[in-house]
Structure 1
Amino acid sequence: MSELYPAIKPFDSQMLAVGQGHTLYLEQTGNPKGLPVLFLHGGPGAGIGEEYRRFFDPQLYRIIGFDQRGCGRSMPFGQLQENTSQRLIEDVLAIKQHLQIDTWLLFGGSWGSTLALLVAISQPEAVSGLILRGIFLARQQDYAWFLDPDGGAAQLFPDYYQDFLQPIKESLTSQNIVDAYYHIFTSGDDVSKMAAIKAWYLWETRISRLHVQVDEENLVPDVHHAISLAILECHYIKYQCFIDENYILKQLDKISHIPTNIIHGRYDSVCKLEAAYSLHQGLNNSQLTIVPEAGHSAFETKTSAALCMATKAMASFLREDK
C-alpha cells in the first residue's frame, strides 16, 4: 500500500446525536481549511477504520469520516430500528449542517458508493464532486450477483459459496437465503448467530480480492466488525436498501452535471463491473477507470493508486473551478 498517503490522526472527534436514539461517531483529519470531503464507508456496517484517511492529501483536504448507524463507535451498536437509507441520508445532511459546510466532495466505495449517490440525488447543489469505487446500484441483479446460487460470485467461487450456505442449509426449503440469515441474526441462539456471522463475513472477505488470502484465521480478525457488517448488510439487502428498483439510474439527470470519477476493479466479484459501466453511461460528466488486476477491495495496490490519483486530480479541478 505504498501508494497511500502517510497515516495521520484526527484533529477532532465527537459523538453527534442524530435522533431516533442514534448517536454517530464523527471525526475530522487533515487540513481544517482544506477542501471538505466526506468519506462514506461500505457494508453497510463496515465502519470507517483508520486507513481511509490515507486516500487523501492531508494538506489539501479536510477529511470527514463517520461510522454509520449501528456500527463502529456509533451507538447503539448493531441497532436495526430506524436504520434505513433515508435515515442515513438525513444523517449525512445533519453532519453537513453541524460542521457548517456549504458544498463538499463525496467519496464512497461499495455500499458507500450507493449512499454517496443517494445523498447527491437528494441534495445535488451541495455536492462539488463524486469519487466512487466498486459501484453497487442496489438493483435485484446486484443482490443476485452477490448472493444467489446462479449469481456471478457463486459461479466463480462454488466451494466458498457452499461454506456460505452451511449455517442455513436446513432453512432453505422454506426460506430464501437472505430471510434465512436474517432469522438467525435477529432471533437465533448465540452459537448459531456467531456461526452465521462468521460465514457471511468470510463469504464477502474471501471474494473481495483478486488474490485470496490463504490464512483463514486472519479473515475474521475483529468480531465486533464482523457482527455489524453481516447483520446490517443482511438487513439492508432484505429490504432492498429501502429504495425502489433501479431508483439510482432513474435519477441520474439530477446529478449529471456533477464531476464524477468512477473506479472499479476489472475482476470485482462482490459488485459487478456492469454497474460501474451503466452508471458511467448515464452520467455525462463522469470518467470511468477500470483497474486491471484488481477485485473489490479498495486496498489492492492498483486500486489504492487509482483512488489517490482521483483525489489528487479532483482537488486540482475543484481549486481551479473556484
Structure 2
Amino acid sequence: MRELYPLIEPYQEGKLQVSELHTIHFEESGNPQGKPIVLLHGGPGGGCPPFYRQYFNPKKWRLVMFDQRGCGQSTPHAELRENTTWDLVNDIEKIRENLGIEKWFVFGGSWGSTLSLAYSQTHPERCTGLILRGIFMLRQKELRWFYQEGASYIFPDAWEAYLKPIPTDERDDMLTAYYQRLTNPDPEVRLTVARAWSVWEASTSKLFPDTALMQNFGESEFAEAFARIECHYFINKGFLKSDDQLLANVDRIRHIPAVIVQGRYDVVCPMISAWELHRAWQEAEFIVVSDAGHSMSEPGIRSALIEATDRFGE
C-alpha cells in the first residue's frame, strides 16, 4: 500500500476573476519545472483541502488546484448564478492560460471525473493524460440511484436522516424538494436541508463509515456550498446536451493516456458507470479496488492513485 507524500505548502496562491461575478482561488505546489497537472475536485461544490497535494510526488509534478465557482475560497460563496459545467470548463482554460501552461495532465474524482471528461472532450489538444477516480457521468439513472432509490437500500439508517426534512407528500421527487429548500430565501431553511444533504453523502462515502467525515460535511459553511451547488447542477442535468453525452463523446479522447480507478463497493458512484466507461474506452487502464467504496482516502484507492501519478510523473 502506498502512503501519502508529506504535506507541502503552495509556492504560489492567487485569485483570478473569471467573470464580473465570480473570482476563483487557485494555488500551485510541487516543482515549478515539473510536469503540469490540474486537480478537479468533487461535488460540485467540494473545494480543495490541503491533503490533496499529498497524492503527487512534489519533485515530479507542478500541481495546480483551484476551488470551483461558489466554493472553498472562491467567491461569492454558494453562488448559483453563472455556475454551469461549461462555465467551469472555461475557467480551467483561463487558469491554464493565466499560468502559461500549454498542456497538462487532468486528475479528477467523482464530480471531478465528470468535469475531467467534459473538459478533455472540449479541449483534447490541451490534455497530456487523465487520471480518473469514482466515475460519475451525471446520468439520470446515477442521480436516481443515490438521491431517490437504490443507495437507500444499503444505508437505510442514514437515508432516514436524509428524508427527515422533506414532507412525506414530496418524497417522490427528492431532488426537486431539496432544490426548493436549498434556494429558499430563509437561511435557516437552507442550512437545515444543506446539512442533511451533505451528511447523507458523507455517511455513504466509505466502506467503513467515518464519523469525522460526517461532522466535517455537516459544518455550515461547507454544507451550504456543497449541497446548493450539487443540487443546482443535478436539477439541471449537469447542463449536458444529452443524458449520455460524456459516454458518447469518448472518441474525442480515446488517444489520450488514461487510468480509471474505481472502488467496487462505491455506493455514491456505483461501479456500473466506471464499467460502462471502460467498455466504451478500452484503451484506458481500468483498476478496480476490491475492498473500497467511494472516498479517495480509502487505502486501496489512495494507493492506486499514487501509483498512477508516480507512473505518469516519470
Partner Cα distance (1:190, 1:17) in 2: 27
**Aligned-partner SS, 1:277:** helix
Q: Residue 223 of structure 1 is aligned with which of 220, 229, 233? A: 220
Q: Residue 165 of structure 2 is aligned with which of 167, 172, 178? A: 167
Partner Cα distance (1:213, 1:104) in 2: 34
Shift >4 Å, 4+ stretches: 214-217
1:74-109 Cα offsets, whole Å, 9 max, x none, are 011111000000100000011111111111000000
Residue aligning to 1:180: 177
**Aligned-partner SS, 1:187:** coil
**Is the contact made by 2:14 and 2:27 (CA closer than 8 Å) also made in structure 1?**
yes
- RMSD, aligned CA: 1.6
Unaligned regions of 5+ residues in structure 2, if any?
none
Alignment of 1:56-135 (within 5 A): 56-135=56-135
Matching of residue 232 in structure 1 with residue 193 in structure 2: no
Structure 2 CA distance for partners of 1:154 and 1:127, relative to 1, 3 Å:
same
1:185-225 Cα offsets, whole Å, 9 max, x none, are 11152332221111101100000000012468735463211
| Letter of the structure 1 residue corresponding to residue 190 of structure 2 | K
**Is the contact made by 1:257 and 1:284 (CA closer than 8 Å) also made in structure 2?**
no
TM superposition score normalised by structure 1: 0.94
Partner Cα distance (1:20, 1:116) in 2: 25
Aligned length: 313
**Is the contact made by 1:11 and 1:28 (CA closer than 8 Å) also made in structure 2?**
yes
Matching of residue 201 in structure 1 with residue 198 in structure 2: yes
Which has the higher mean CA deviation after the structures are superposed, 164-173 or 258-267? 164-173
| Letter of the structure 2 residue corresponding to residue 96 of structure 1 | R
Partner Cα distance (2:170, 2:162) in 1: 12
1:5-37 Cα offsets, whole Å, 9 max, x none, are 110000000000011411000100000010000
Partner Cα distance (2:270, 2:176) in 1: 23
Q: Structure 1 residue 171: deviation in Å?
A: 5.4
**Is the contact made by 1:268 and 1:294 (CA closer than 8 Å) also made in structure 2?**
yes
Residue aligning to 2:253: 255
Q: Residue 291 of structure 1 is aligned with which of 289, 295, 298? A: 289
Partner Cα distance (1:139, 1:3) in 2: 33
**Is the contact made by 1:167 and 1:192 (CA closer than 8 Å) also made in structure 2?**
no
Unaligned regions of 5+ residues in structure 1, if any?
317-322
Partner Cα distance (2:226, 2:147) in 1: 15
Residue aligning to 1:302: 300
Q: Residue 265 of structure 2 is aligned with which of 262, 267, 279? A: 267
Matching of residue 11 in structure 1 with residue 8 in structure 2: no
1:251-299 Cα offsets, whole Å, 9 max, x none, are 0111001111000111000001011111111124201111121100000
Residue aligning to 1:320: none
Partner Cα distance (2:156, 2:283) in 1: 38
Q: Structure 1 residue 116: deviation in Å?
A: 0.5
